[in-house]
Amino acid sequence: MDFRLTEDQRNLRDVIRDYLDKEHGPEVLRRLDEGERRDPAIWAGLVEMGIAGLLVPENHGGLEMGLIEAVLVATELGRANVSESIADTALIAAPLLAGDRQEALAAGELRVALAHPINPWIADLANADMVLTGGKTIAAPEQCEALESVDPLRLLYTPMSADADDALLDRAALITAAQLLGAGERMLDLATEYAKMREQFGQPIGSFQAIKHHLASVAVKLEFARPLIWRAAYAAQHGHARAPIHISHAKVAATDAAVFAAETAIQVHGAMGYTYEVDLHFWMKRAWALAGAWGDRAFHRQRVDEAVLGGTLPITPDQTFASE
Amino acid sequence: MDFRLTEDQRNLRDVIRDYLDKEHGPEVLRRLDEGERRDPAIWAGLVEMGIAGLLVPENHGGLEMGLIEAVLVATELGRANVSESIADTALIAAPLLAGDRQEALAAGELRVALAHPINPWIADLANADMVLTGGKTIAAPEQCEALESVDPLRLLYTPMSADADDALLDRAALITAAQLLGAGERMLDLATEYAKMREQFGQPIGSFQAIKHHLASVAVKLEFARPLIWRAAYAAQHGHARAPIHISHAKVAATDAAVFAAETAIQVHGAMGYTYEVDLHFWMKRAWALAGAWGDRAFHRQRVDEAVLGGTLPITPDQTFASE
Amino acid sequence: MDLAFTPEQQEFRAEVRSWMEAHVPKAPLKTLEGREGFDEHVAWERELASGNWGMVTWPEAYGGRGLDLIRWLIFEEEYWRAGAPLRANQNGIFLLGPTIMEYGTDEQKAKFLTPMAKGELIWAQAWSEPNAGSDMAAIRSRAVRDGDDYVISGQKTWSSRAAFADWCFGLFRTDPDSKRHKGLSFILLPLDAPGVTIRPIRQLHGETGFAEIFFDEVRVPVANRIAGEGEGWSVAMATAGFERGLMLRSPARFQAVAQRLVALYRQHADTASPDTRAAVLQAWMDAEAYALNTYHVASQVIAGAHIGAEASLNKIFWSELDRSAHRAAMSLLGATAELRTLPGGKGGGEENAWLEGYIFSLSGPIYAGSNEIQRNIIAERLLGLPR
Amino acid sequence: MDLAFTPEQQEFRAEVRSWMEAHVPKAPLKTLEGREGFDEHVAWERELASGNWGMVTWPEAYGGRGLDLIRWLIFEEEYWRAGAPLRANQNGIFLLGPTIMEYGTDEQKAKFLTPMAKGELIWAQAWSEPNAGSDMAAIRSRAVRDGDDYVISGQKTWSSRAAFADWCFGLFRTDPDSKRHKGLSFILLPLDAPGVTIRPIRQLHGETGFAEIFFDEVRVPVANRIAGEGEGWSVAMATAGFERGLMLRSPARFQAVAQRLVALYRQHADTASPDTRAAVLQAWMDAEAYALNTYHVASQVIAGAHIGAEASLNKIFWSELDRSAHRAAMSLLGATAELRTLPGGKGGGEENAWLEGYIFSLSGPIYAGSNEIQRNIIAERLLGLPR
């Protein structure tokens, strides 16, 4: 029992974070929003960093890492508001594909869209090379209709038939939870920086206790969502029977933390938070979008509710890490 | 349409408040708690003030007032933490009794205990002259067993068979809501006074924004519970079909406001709030007790839920004062 | 206490209802925050004025009906019951109009009030500045006296409606050596005056309801000043009082939101989580409480009472209620909450008004004095806690 | 990251489980806040010590087992799983013991630690004073040097356990001219020393868990001072760090509360309101999150990390979780929530532990540094906001 990231895991996180801080700042989001919204150079950079092949076995050209590493990277993608379909392709679909496809995927030559009945849309379908649904891959359609998300950098399409697949749903919900956590962390950072700089009544607003307490409450929410995501990743990686419950729990906690971070961050920013000029809005919109993706709060709460209040899950204090 | 208290109503409220401020302060609560918990002199004083006969017709020796006046008086009884069975007898039972009994009641010579299956206890049964249940009065039993409430000034007894009676339940829930409002108002006063006086870090704690905002939030909750109680009283007085829904709504709002006031007041008091030495605890305990009396939150929320979400109640904006 | 409407009030309600049924646009207008939708909303203001429904609380002399606040509430109930549009004219009706009636000269009343009532002059606010948001006394924009004119320079921001409005009103520093609340004057000016530049602020959802206004030596007659030079702060506080008070936030509007939310809940009842179900019911209960409190305050105002810091209780309650209601709607919509157009059957779906409403509701606890400021006011002025 | 227990850890769990099953009292003890119950709890401490379970994290040299924090967590899980009593000895185990190990002399270690481990010396805290609650630096009680003794005068309050404990530890002003954090020393003394008067504080629910301690020229050897004269503040801060940190608030305790709450919900599922159902689930989810975070922090501490202001995150989380859980229980109990004894079948009911627990939970956000102070600490030290 050692509930810490390994040195390798910390290095991975830091390397990705540093890269994205340098290459994928708010100015990139603005450029994408005013342009084509996807940029092959960004994709290439993420592939270059090894993210495409993160979960692909070494003999297929990947890094053969696991779900812990995947949620760490997903958190960084959320923190940087990356919108390329790298999370869907590399962190969700990759292990569910056949070996030859994994090879192309690790090389950055394959983009996979994910179709599941829980979502009324398919993300990034137009530029996908194939679609994963119901446990198999099918060709992407010639034509599809674009939907408009509140998040300008999200590309959603409809309609296309989708078949259920629990493994896909669980993995996708976990990776989405990690992205929500990252978005929440970034919003706390943005609001904290703003509170240090913005002055009213002759002093930084961050010196007012009301602002301090708002931001402290966000910090608490985020701090206690994080280990839920890590445990869920570990349990899923190790095939624990209760992993789906842990994933649902993590998705609920990450959603609540991110939405709370968004509402608090805009309150701290005041009217400025309401503008396109400050960067906050990109993350708020992503949080609102991901809140309902891959199972909304109601869906995931219900899964936990059935297990816990329904009595199917043993809940004595010694069961925290149980595998059954 | 005039949603104000009349001058008579304001005078009534002020007279009762002044009387109770003078005659029924915290020192009286301490004396009762250390002694017999009931005091004929307090009862006599309340009768003298006309409360016993408040709702009794003039030709039976009463003041022939209505439910608006009853909730105003009940709010003051809650604010002063009066524990005599005057609310049960005069504000709830009186109009449900036959004329000759009302006469004795108005004269202060009759105390009525209320039995209803919604409560697992009967308050003040041991010193009641009769019991009202199921729409009729029966003799009080020779013997009964005392229960212990968290509230030292509440006298509860069991068991005794009780029959349902919607009219009794509704009136009692309304009067209880008014008492909860009064208790909440007093707790806000107590916490505000404490915050002005108590110093930490070289200044009154009431100058810290966190304390200010806690208390402001309580003020908001109370302010918006009050008119709900008044409307419910008016609707019940005028026999509006939706009066029971209004009463349930008022009970929920008053309970939430009073419990929130209690939790906030103890937080503002800090460790002192946890002691018997400051007065706060009398009102907190009363709030906790009345929260579950005459239908708890779940019961009353459910009644509103069935009407509103269930769709039986018209809810267009013009229906606020509808009588159907 | 009398909670029954008089026969006259009931007749009035029937009159409003029948007019609204005949005139309210069948299809929703485009958003007020774009040019096209703004023009549609102005056309609706003129339609309202044609029925003499534009400024029902104003005196008849200025184009109103001289109604008391109870009838205003009845009017609003029927207005929202009928699903009528947002008011392009609300700055004029509720903020500037009452201010001119209280502080304006006869000439100012004649010049401004009737066109306003007719929907011919749409007003923008010019309060906030980049460094004077919650702290409005930090205003720097200046108006320098030059003969019969002021020459105005500076910048205002967060001006709602300014992108499309005709005139604006705001505070300017007429005494350059003054500090804080002193030396400010309340001045009106046309937004097409030479030297005025409007820069729409792109909002987070891409619309442009707010704007910055830049003033570069804009000449404005002294006659456009309301009340005395240097008296602007107290005039503005009276205006802010109206704003924070009940008039701008009609309870019927929130009751209509709650009603739509209940309908949305019924559509999603089988998948709603228990906390969302509770939140829906709470939103309805709170909208009711807000309506009742407003009737209570209105009754007091009719009887001559002055509403001061109590308005802060209202501001907090409606803004938090509105946010909670829309948050619950977002939860009910789940995976479709993020879509700007809800999936429909053949022929496409409808605009996701809940999403727009949620985003707008987040501004409620911020504008017109942030809820942090409102809680300070309650604590200090109503509860008497030390500053 | 390795979230599997080692075979040795599993064996350890089995060992604790089997001992607890054999030794935990079958019937609940009387409340720790009365004399009789306190004695029962002290007897339980000695029972624990007889199995060498009293101070499992302490070094063996001082009567412990030298276990790391992961095993401590396992121990706690089994302790609460078995329904074992509250710890009378917790001030000693978690606050004073570690402080003496870090700052004490060899003589002090020898004199105090082993008796503490055996449950022979029960300790009370003497931190707060009437005017030094959240603001602990405002301490006035003084210790005047007189040869090899200090002569102590003053008053402490909110001393948990003091009504029945043997000794107390606290801060006293050894430099009469000093201000705030300076000139304080950390001193231990027996509560039966001449000049000490204990006045139990009657709590709101009538029990007397807290007490005031009055010192009237109490002579205490200088050898009872921990660390140097005037160094008391930094010693106390280290102690407070332990207190705010994970050791005093075992996650298993809250998981056990959540488990009981879920069972209570099942009994009342047909009448529970939707928001209460949601609150029950949230309490369980939060107790899980708290456990995970604690394992995370414990793993870092084992690897040598220092826990500073992060402890404030923990304090807020467990205290608000505990209050929410008990609030939900009160809602579930409805009309019976107020009763001190729940109605039972023949032979009477059981004590309403939820009511006592709710009242106790209200102290969580207050003591050990109020949650307002904790939020200040998070904002200033973790987020770097200006003071």
Query: Given C133, C276, C335, which is nearest A293 (Cβ)?
Result: C335
More confident call, B231 vs D182:
B231
Confidence of residue D132 (pLDDT cuts 50, 70, 90): confident
Taking CB atoms and an 8 Å cutoff, what residues of chain C touch A200? 131, 133-135, 138
Per-residue pLDDT tens over the stretch B236-287: 999 999 999 999 999 999 999 999 999 999 999 998 888 888 999 999 999 9
Q: How far is A149 from chain C (nearest CA, A)?
A: 4
Chains in touch with B (3+ beta-carbon pairs under 8 Å) read A, C, D
Q: Which of D243, D288, D310, D338 is catalytic?
A: D243
CB contact under 8 Å between B3 and C383, yes or no, is no
Distances (CA, A) of D161 to D42, D200, D369: 11, 10, 18
**Who among B118, B271, B281 is closest to D367 (CB)?**
B271
Inter-chain touch B2–C1, beta carbons under 8 Å: yes
Determine the average pLDDT of the residues in C182-211.
86
Residue A254 confidence (pLDDT) above 50:
yes
The answer to whether the beta carbons of residues D300 and A2 sit under 8 Å apart is no
Please determine, for residue A37, whether its predicted confidence score (pLDDT) is greater than 60: yes
> Percentage of residues in chain B with pLDDT exceeding 70?
100
Q: Of A280-284, C58-62, C327-331, D92-96, which gets the smallest average pLDDT?
A: D92-96
The C-alpha angle B74, B78, B83, rounded to 5 degrees, equals: 95
Record the tokens describing residue C43, joined without a space: 């056309």
Name the residue in chain B with its Cα closest to that of A213.
B210
Query: What is residue D159's predicted lDDT score, i.e. its pLDDT?
Result: 83
Measured in angstroms, the CA of C203 and the nearest CA of chain A are apart by: 4
Chain B residues within an 8 Å CB radius of C299? 1-4
**All partners of chain C with 3 or more CB pairs under 8 angstroms:** A, B, D
> Closest Cα of chain A to B105: distance in Å?
50
D358 CB neighbours in chain B (<8 A) are 288
Return the residue of D nearest to B275 by Cα: D203
Tokens (6 digits) for C12: 């009035």
Identify all chain B residues contacting A213, using CB atoms and an 8 Å cutoff.
210
Lowest-pLDDT range, A304-308, B240-244, C25-29, C149-153? C25-29
Is pLDDT of B179 > 90?
A: yes
Other CB atoms within 10 Å distance of the CB of residue C192: 9
Query: Across all residues in chain D, what is the average pLDDT?
Result: 91
Percent of all residues in chain C with a pLDDT value above 90, rounded to a whole number? 66
Q: Which residues from D are below 8 Å from B259, CB to CB?
A: 327
Query: C210 and A271: CB-CB below 8 Å?
Result: yes
Q: Taking CB atoms and an 8 Å limit, are B149 and D204 in contact across chains?
A: no
pLDDT tens-digit profile of C200-214? 887 776 666 688 999
Average pLDDT, chain A: 96
Residue linked to tokens 């402001």: B216
CA dist., res. C244 & res. C222, Å (int): 29
Q: Please report the sign of the dihedral spanned by the C-alpha atoms of residue B101, residue B102, residue B107, residue B108.
A: positive
Q: Determine the pLDDT at residue D242.
A: 55
Of C120, C243, C320, C356, the catalytic one is C243
Same fold for the pair C123-230 and C249-382: no
Greatest mean pLDDT among C229-243, C264-278, C296-310, D179-193: C264-278
Q: What is the pLDDT of residues B144-174, one digit of tens each?
A: 889 999 999 999 998 778 999 999 999 999 9
Contacts of B172 (CB under 8 A, 6+ apart): B88, B92, B114, B116, B293, B294
The segment(s) of chain B belonging to CATH 1.10.540.10 are 7-119
Q: How confident is the model at residue D145 (pLDDT cuts 50, 70, 90)?
A: very high
Residue D246 in this model has a pLDDT that exceeds 60: no
pLDDT score of B232 more than 80:
yes
Q: Which residue has the tokens 């003794």?
A: D149
Please classify residue A199 by burial: count the beta carbons closer than 10 Å to its beta carbon, then call 0-12 exposed, 13-18 middle and 19+ buried: middle
List the structure tokens of C211: 């704007």
Superfamily of domain B166-320: Butyryl-CoA Dehydrogenase, subunit A, domain 3 (1.20.140.10)
Task: Give the integer Cα–Cα distance in Å for C331 and C340.
Answer: 15
Average pLDDT score over residue span A215-233: 98
Judge contact between B216 and D378, C-beta under 8 A: no
- Taking an 8 Å cut-off on Cβ atoms, the answer to whether B311 and C266 are in contact is yes
Give the mean model confidence (pLDDT) for residues B173-177.
98
Please give the Cα distance from C191 to A65 (Å, whole number): 62
Residue C240: pLDDT band with limits 50, 70, 90? low
Contact D328, C275 (CB under 8 A): no
* Contact across the interface for D135 and B158, Cβ inside 8 Å: no
CATH class given for the domain over A7-119: mainly alpha
Nearest to C334 among A201, A266, A298 (CB): A298
Which residues in chain B are closer than 8 Å to C251, comparing Cβ atoms? Answer: 317
- Give Dmax over CA atoms of chain C in angstroms: 71
Query: Is it the case that residue C35 has pLDDT exceeding 80?
Result: yes
Q: How far is C290 from chain D (nearest CA, A)?
A: 22
Whether residues C337 and A288 touch (CB distance < 8 A) is answered with yes
Query: Which of the residues B33, B118, B147 would you substitute to probe the D interface, choosing the one with the greatest number of D C-beta atoms within 10 Å?
Result: B147
Chain C residue at shortest CA distance from A203: C135
Q: Identify whether C243 is a catalytic site residue.
A: yes
The residue-averaged pLDDT of A23-34 equals 96
Q: Does the structural domain D123-230 have CATH classification 2.40.110.10?
A: yes
CA A120 to the chain's CA centroid: 18
pTM of the shown model: 0.95
- pLDDT score of D17 more than 80: yes
Helix (H, G, I), strand (E, B) or coil at C341: strand
Interface test with C, best of D275, D276, D282, D285 (most C CBs within 10 A): D275
Chain D: give the shortest CA distance to residue C277, in Å: 7
Whether residue C174 contacts residue C203, with contact meaning beta carbons closer than 8 Å, is answered with no
* Nearest-CB residue to C366 (from A158, A271, A301): A271
CB within 8 Å: C331 and A296: yes
Q: Which chains touch A (3 or more CB pairs under 8 A)?
A: B, C, D
Residue C296: its chain B contacts at CB < 8 A? 3-4, 227, 230
Among candidates C128, C131, C273 on the partner chain, residue whose Cβ is nearest the Cβ of A301 = C273
Answer yes or no: do A317 and D378 touch at CB < 8 A.
Answer: no
- What interhelical angle do D310-333 and B280-292 show, nearest 10? 50
User: How many CB pairs below 8 A link A and D?
Assistant: 167
Q: How far is C270 from chain D (nearest CA, A)?
A: 13
Buried b (16+ CB within 10 A) or exposed e, C237-269: ebbbbbbbbbbbbbbbbbbbbbbbbbebbeebe
Asked whether residue D282 carries a pLDDT value surpassing 50, the answer given is yes
pLDDT band of C260, cuts 50, 70, 90 = very high
Residue D164 has pLDDT above 60, yes or no: yes
Find, in chain C, the residue whose alpha carbon is nearest to that of B194.
Answer: C385
Domain ranges for chain C, please list them: 7-88, 123-230, 249-382
- Into which CATH architecture does domain D249-382 fall? Up-down Bundle (1.20)
- Between D305 and A137, the more confident residue is A137
Cα separations (Å) of B273 from A222, B284, D129, D205, D212? 31, 10, 15, 11, 15
DSSP-derived 3-state class of residue B151: coil
Contact C56, C94 (CB under 8 A): no
- Closest CA in chain B for residue A209: B209
Interchain contact, A149 vs C339, CB within 8 Å = yes
Above 90 in pLDDT, residue C291?
yes
Phi, psi (deg, nearest 5) at residue D357: -65, -40
Indicate the angle between helix axes A209-237 and D274-302, nearest 10 degrees. Answer: 80
What Cα–Cα distance (Å) separates residue C223 from each residue in B169, C106, C147, C186, D69? 65, 11, 11, 11, 78
Q: Which span out of B82-86, D155-159, D164-168 was modeled with the highest average pLDDT?
A: B82-86
On the question of pLDDT at D92 being above 70, the answer is yes
Report residue D355 as tokens: 């009511």
Reported as a single tens digit per residue, the pLDDT across B93-141 is 999 999 899 999 999 999 999 999 999 999 999 999 999 999 999 999 8
What pLDDT does D247 receive?
63
Model confidence band, residue A276 (pLDDT cutoffs 50, 70, 90): confident
Cα(A122)–Cα(C367) distance, integer angstroms: 37
More confident residue, D208 or A29: A29
- For residues A272 and A261, give the distance between their C-alpha atoms in angstroms, rounded to a whole number: 16
**pLDDT score at D350:** 79
Structure letter (DSSP) for residue B2 = B
Q: Which residue from A261, A275, A274, A283 is spatially nearest to A26, judged by alpha carbons?
A: A283
Give me B229's structure tokens. Answer: 């109680």
Confidence of residue C244 (pLDDT cuts 50, 70, 90): very low
Which chain A residues have any C-beta within 8 angstroms of a chain B C-beta?
Answer: 208-210, 213
Q: What is the mean pLDDT of residues A65-84?
A: 98
For residue C272, give the chain D residue with the closest CA.
D274
To the nearest whole angstrom, how far is the Cα of D377 from the nearest Cα of chain C?
20
3-state secondary structure A119-147: CCCEECCCCCCEEEECCEEEECCCCCEEE
- pLDDT(D64) > 80: yes
Whole-number pLDDT of residue D244:
46
